[in-house]
A and B are shown apart, each in its own frame.
Chain A
Amino acid sequence: MTTVLPRSGAETTTTGLLELEGLTKSYGSRRVLDDVSFRVEPGRLTGFVGGNGAGKTTTMRIVLGVLGADGGAVRLGGHDVAAADRRHFGYMPEERGLYPKMRVLEQVAYLARLHGFGKSEATARGEALLTELGLGERLHDTIESLSLGNQQRAQIAAALVHDPEVLILDEPFSGLDPLAVDVVAGVLQARAAQGAAILFSSHQLDVVERLCDDLVIIAGGTIRAAGSREQLRAQHSAPRYELVSDADAGWIRSEPGITVVDFEGGTAVFDAASPEDAQRVLRAALGHGIVHAFTPQHPSLAQIFKEVIQ
């Protein structure tokens, strides 16, 4: 059950690309954003990662038009984003907020109406979406009576109810239990599959790693890395392999072009200067004993992140 109406994928691919170009922003003499440029592609989940105070929230607020930039541009489908475009944006602010005394459905429907839907349609959409997010039983409860996790789900419903083409979510997974993370992740992936461009920030790097197609890393107000997850992995790692064998793997240390990262009995993790060096190690290992595994290792997002922001 979903409220999303079918859209032509081809059409949104050409119209829904969100581009940030050269955004700068200062508060007084403190520069919080410096030449921030990246793309959020329609149909993909883009993870936005950075430490506290790196500029994520400021960037998102500028994209939403809630805050003005000192310089630079935000474009949607090639043209500067105007107020009319922003009606098709969905936003989940970092600091959660809904009217505490308003009922869940009423609240979500109100936001849909502010985005231009008629009363009955807004209510129908709100009800369907809240049910999808697992709040079907709590539609007429006030927000303040919900648990934090359920408030979070209501908040996500508030961002999605008007069926936005562009979704900007600031820490959508914080405060959610693992089951709720899965529910929300499922909803976001479904939206992406329908052609929405989704930018979300998170401190939970494992969740970002699992979910995102593209990745943007920001630190100190500048973009340190941006691109697809695979591309970044390829860029930011020495080729690393894991060897598991019967025999003691100590001999690897003396191989030329090989740096051992971790070693214990028959298991060794090493970086190879070239793929040929790695293959040579594999052949030698077969000579030393039975090889159970020989696996190229991908650096985790956490590793890339640490490397990039240094």
Chain B
Amino acid sequence: MSTATAPNGAALSTGSGILLVAEREIGSKLRSKAFLISTGILLLIALAGVLIGGFMSKNTTETKIAVTAETAQTLHGLPGLAPTEVADATAAERLVRDGTVEAALIPAPGDAAFGYQIVALKEAPKSLQGLLAKTPKVTILEPDTTNPLLRYLVAIGFGVVFLMAASTFGATMAQSVVEEKSTRVVELLLAAIPARVLLAGKVIGNTVLAMAQILLLAAIAVVGLIVTGQNSVLQGLGSPLVWFAVFFLFGFVLLASLFAAAASLVSRQEDIGSTTMPITMLVMAPYILVIIFNDNPVVMTILSYIPFSAPVAMPVRLFVGEAQWWEPLASLVILLAACVAAILVAAKIYENSLLRMGARVKLADALSGR
């Protein structure tokens, strides 16, 4: 029994209305087993990726070499080799033939320059040749700041995470809007709170979930890098990771608003695809473009200022050291402006379409409120 003195609830402020909606949005998602399992799998994949990457970079498999007493000294101090000392050249050759070793280093008194020779079965062992070769000193004037493979991997990493999180939670957002419409619960909600409060609550709820997933992934990446001793990668990745999180936050708010607006145009789950397709393309674009053009500074610079691709392109540019300190800030301002504009337009479409059941609402009608 209630002990309140007022016959009815006190007026609900806009803020607490938004929080309530967000809370329900998060709660219902966290209760979904499918969601928890897929998040768990995603985190495991991320962890596995970091760990495998770490072990791979460490475990450059050692080349097995057979040596004799005379040549053993030559290999002393050279990395990546596992020498096995045998009695003489014949024994060494036998090991090469039966595959126990990849190559053998045997004395060659006739060779004035080296005094030894390499014996291999079919192909010349290039790594060993390289180690033993004498080369002049090299000075590189403009060294590549990062290794191209790493740059590519980081671009894919940011791209995949953005694509996964944005499309997963964008779809969640769209489904939840249509669920309210198709079950007509939206009429009850609108009788209690304004459409904008409902929209804001849903966007915030889904953004919190998406951000939580991103932060978990980032935490796993950081822990994984530390555990596998890849500290140099971690140092380069720290600031881009933070920027990625910030850009993702606003980028996702932008996308979630658009997903909500698009979904509010239809009344059935089956029709979601038809209206959210253009936004899904916008989500996929940065992933594909950044991976294709990750070594093209001009395209990357442009991409890092376009609101939809900035969350992926700017952190990659920061990682490779191509971006000036002020560039992420400038790009963020553009993103924020786009975000505000998207929210305003989305709120209008959402408000005007929520109670129109049945056929798909035309975009022009939703915008003008006819």
Contacts and interface: CB of A to CB of B under 8 A. Distances in A.
A5 B5 CA distance: 9
A75 B110 CA distance: 113
A305 to B, nearest CB: 27
A163 B7 contact: yes
B2 A89 contact: no
B1 interface: yes
Given A3-B2, A121-B4, A115 B12 contact: yes
A112 B7 contact: no
Contact of A87 (B4, B8, B28, B185): B8
Interface residues of A, number: 45
Contact of B185 (A83, A99, A116): A99
Nearest to A100: B183
B9 interface: yes
A88 B2 CA distance: 17
Contacts of A71: none
Interface in B102-142: none
Interface stretch (B57-65, B160-168, B189-197): B189-197
Contacts of B10: 116
A64 interface: yes
A157 to B, nearest CB: 11
Given A3-B2, A87-B12, A64 B191 contact: yes
A268 to B, nearest CB: 51
Interface in A249-298: none
B1 A128 contact: yes
A100 B190 CA distance: 18
Contact of A61 (B9, B17, B355): B355
Which of B10, B12, B192, B193 gathers most chain A CB within 10 Å? B192
A110 B20 contact: yes
A87 B9 contact: yes
A93 B187 contact: yes
B41 to A, nearest CB: 22
A28 B370 CA distance: 8
Given A64-B190, A96-B183, A117-B4, 17 more contacts: A3-B1, A64-B191, A66-B190, A83-B194, A87-B8, A87-B11, A95-B184, A99-B28, A99-B179, A113-B12, A114-B21, A115-B8, A115-B12, A117-B9, A118-B9, A121-B9, A164-B8
Shortest 8 CB-CB contacts between residues of A and residues of B: A116-B9, A97-B184, A97-B183, A117-B9, A114-B192, A97-B185, A93-B187, A116-B12
